[in-house]
Amino acid sequence: MKTTLLAFVLLFAVISSQPLLGAAEASPDQVVDTSGKVVRAGVNYNILLSMPYSNCRSPQGLGLSKIGKSCPLDVVVVDRYHSLPLRFVPVNPKKGVIRVSTDLNIMFPPNITCPHHSTVWKLDHFQGSKGHLLSFVSTGGVKGSGNWFKIEKYGGAYKLVYCPSVCHSCKHDECENVGMFVDEKGNHRLALSAVPFQVKILKD
């Protein structure tokens, strides 16, 4: 009799813990824009950047520039009034809403300067003058195959991180922050960096 009762108690404990397990696997939070609205796939947004360590009062934006080669174009930091709109494309194209910590392609609208190259963000690696590897954000990536970025919560806003591959159980440490690198010619390039930009998302 006692064992039957114990079995019932155990069964009840297992059943009642199920919703908790379900909740733990809930989708990550939705990303919201500066007006608090959910950020959606295929909609144009401007990214507003601020550097945590800079005393630059106005946030900056992102644009395209030819740096050292004709095509594809590279992603540069510009003042916000010259920023170009961009779109987020989730790894699962059926998802209409952008969530934090999920793999995304990021793309600008097509640009006539480089009509034969895509405007999907991808990384370009260079050997720095001190022998270390520099990784800049360029374009010419292929949508849906690598070039994965994620939006993560950061200091009351967001940051962008680059994550080499789709990995559903990976921790954040496998991703690298997206920040800025000023090259020897003074180009303010979007690059992988120890210090991330703080990012806000403004509907275009």
Ligand X SMILES: *[C@@H]1O[C@H](CO)[C@@H](O)[C@H](O)[C@H]1NC(C)=O
Residue closest to 87 by CA, chosen among 155, 137, 143:
143
Burial grade of 165 (CB within 10 A; 0-12, 13-18, 19 or more): exposed
Distance CA 80, CA 142 (A): 27
Q: Which residues, listed in sequence order, are joined to residue 99 by a DSSP beta bridge?
A: 30
Which residue, 47 or 64, is less far from ligand X as judged by CB? Answer: 64
Token duo for residue 184: 């020897």
CB of 176 to ligand X, least distance (A): 26
187 binds ligand X (CB under 6 A): no
Which residue of 6, 12, 58, 66 would you call a contact of ligand X, by CB under 6 A? Answer: 66
Q: Minimum Å distance from CB 170 to ligand X?
A: 32
Residue with token string 């793999």: 103
**Alpha carbon 72 to chain centroid distance?**
20
Applying the rule CB under 6 A, the residues between 113 and 132 that interact with ligand X are: 113
Q: CA–CA distance from 76 to each of 157, 166, 178, 184, 189 (Å)?
A: 21, 25, 12, 14, 4
CB of residue 140 vs ligand X: minimum separation in angstroms?
13
Q: Is the CB of 30 or the CB of 44 nearer to ligand X? A: 44
The answer to whether 106 contacts ligand X (rule: CB under 6 A) is: no
Q: Taking CB under 6 A as the rule, does residue 84 contact ligand X?
A: yes
- Answer yes or no whether residue 140 interacts with ligand X by CB under 6 A: no
3-state secondary structure 133-202: EEEEEECCCCCCCCCCEEEEEECCEEEEEECCCCCCCCCHHHCEEEEEEECCCCCEEEEECCCCCEEEEE
Q: Which of 101, 111, 177, 187 contacts ligand X by CB under 6 A?
A: 111
- Give min distance, CB of 79 to ligand X, in A: 12
Nearer of residues 66 and 153 to ligand X, judged by Cβ:
66
Told to check if 73 binds ligand X by CB under 6 A, we report yes
Site for ligand X in 19-48 (CB under 6 A): none
Site for ligand X, rule CB under 6 A: 63-66, 73, 84, 108-109, 111, 113
